[in-house]
Structure 1
Amino acid sequence: MFLTRFRVNTARPDGRRLLASPQRMHAAVMSSFPELLPSSPSDRGNQDGPRVLWRLDRNSPAEVLLYVVSPDRPDLTHLVEQAGWPAAAASGSLGWKTYDYGSFLGHLDKGGIWNFRLTANPVHSVRNRDDAPTKLTAHLNARHQLGWLLQRQEAAGFRLVQKSEERRHTERGDEYQVVVRDQRDLNFSKREASGGGGRTGRVTLKLVTYDGRLEVTDPEALRRVLTQGLGRAKAYGGGLMTLAPAG
């Protein structure tokens, strides 16, 4: 497994076009792996093993980082040419950094405390009337979005760390060391194959970012989350959780 970081050059028009389109970014990420055939974005694929995951961290208008977790080492030359700094890369720097993720994953231990970041698509099933089919709907406020993560923590192999009593406020959900931020609504057209032609549908998603601290309760389950993702919308930048040492 590999973890790759690439800084997007937001001053370049092609960089801004990639950032504005989850479909373009997905295609650019998947094109980093010569052995993968082009395909339309979807959550289908190998659900039982590692997959290609990606996430955009918008730290500031000038600092947008693309993170990719993948079973194979990627080649991001095309991204450097499109949305990086080609002249700097020509002087000897690749323009991206790739790390051995497998050794890190292998050292996760039960009881370990880590800072985490996760961008996800928190949704729930609702029914407008008794005889109607259920429909996936996005959670709209931070309390329900946090509840979505709390419902999945046990199966995902971690537990959100709680705040000390003196740091808590009165509102429900404030007892955990986690912040829900950077809510982004995605609404774009998607061309789908239909027989010999194609049809265009609409994709509407809400992505949110969780920053917080967790305790490892099941290292193997957490490794699955870190390599397979959590939740839906993985083709559009959702599902990737990363860990960093807790200070």
Structure 2
Amino acid sequence: MHLTRFRFNTHRPGARKLLSSSQALHAAVMGGFPDLLPSTSPSNDPLTGLLAVNGAENGTSGAGPGKPRVLWRVDRNAKAEVFLYVVSPDRPELTHLVEQAGWPQAEADSGWQTHDYAGFLSRLETGQTWAFRLTANPVHSIRRKDGEETKPTAHVTPRHQARWLLKKQEQCGFEVLRGRNPDPAMPEVDGYELLVHDRNSAGFDKPDPRPGRKGKRMRVPVVTATFDGRLTVTDPDALRRALSSGIGRAKAYGCGLMTLAPVS
């Protein structure tokens, strides 16, 4: 596993274009992994069958549930300080991102930094305390009327979004710490060291597949929220799976990547 950080040059039109479209940025991220790029002539590739058998078929961004996959997240720390983080089984090659959205002429700097992540994951132990950040797509399944199939529906308030994450704690191998300064605006999660911010519901457009709508586009809503807080490790194996395979839905659109940092 690898953890990569890339800094956007927000003065460049290419960077602004990527940051305005989760679809375009997803394609750019996946472009850093040659083995995951779609093949134009798979029938001529003698390895196609072998790759499919081993779960690495072209065009996929990861394996099955709970398996390591390519995850990414954008952190907007300031107007001119925007970072892309990528967790991946393979080491990425991001020259195309540097040329489009970085500083191609900068000396002594490749434009991105990739570090061994497997070693860090192997050192996780029960009882450790870490600061964390997660951008996620907090949803729940509801049935609007009897007999109807359940449908995923986004949580839109900070209170319900925080509650969504707290319900994930046990299965993901951590507990969010309780603090001393409860937020009166979030009574259901009073006392937890958890901040919900950068809430967004922009989504993206895609071709409309419905009959009679050829050539039209439809809006696909993707509600996201970023969570900052502190946690204690309760199940290292479960937390390792969560960190390498993602938490929640919409992973292709910049959701699900949790990162840890030492508590200051």
Relative to the length of structure 1, the TM-score reads: 0.91
% identity of equivalent residues: 56
Structure 1 residues 149-203: Cα deviation after superposition (integer angstroms, max 9, x where no partner): 1111001000010013xx3355331210010000011232224999xx9985532
- 140, 154, 164: which one aligns with 2:170: 154
Pair 1:2-2:18 in alignment: no
Say whether 1:178 aligns with 2:194: yes
Quote the Cα distance in structure 2 between the aligned partners of 1:190 and 1:157. Answer: 36
Instruction: Look up the equivalent residue of 1:145 and give its one-letter code.
Output: Q
Distance 1:203 1:42, change over 3 A: farther
Question: CA offset at residue 132 of structure 1?
Answer: 2.2
1:239 to 249, 256, 260: 256
User: Which residue does 2:94 correspond to in 1?
Assistant: 76
What CA distance in whole angstroms lies between the structure 1 residues aligned with 2:35 and 2:62?
18
**Rounded Cα–Cα distance in structure 1 between residues aligned with 2:64 and 2:183:** 43
Partner of residue 38, structure 2: 38
- Decide whether aligned partners of structure 1 residues 30 and 191 sit closer, same or farther in structure 2, where only a CA change above 3 A counts: farther
Return the alpha-carbon distance in structure 2 between the equivalents of residues 101 and 131 of structure 1: 46
Distance 1:51 1:44, change over 3 A: closer
- Deviation per residue, 1:196-226 (Å, 9 max, x gap): x998553211010000000000000000000
Q: Which residue of 1 aligns with 2:46?
A: none
1:168 equivalenced with 2:182 (yes/no): yes
**Structure 2 CA distance for aligned equivalents of residues 61 and 3 of structure 1:** 23
Q: For 1:54, which of 65, 68, 72 is the aligned residue?
A: 72
Q: Which amino acid aligns with 1:113?
A: T
Structure 1 unmatched ranges of 5 or more: none
More divergent stretch after superposition (49-58 vs 129-138) = 129-138
Q: Which structure carries more strand by proportion?
A: 1
> What displacement does 1:135 show?
1.7
For 2:251 and 2:199, the matched residues in 1 are separated by 16
| TM-score in terms of structure 2 length | 0.85
Aligned to 2:150: 134
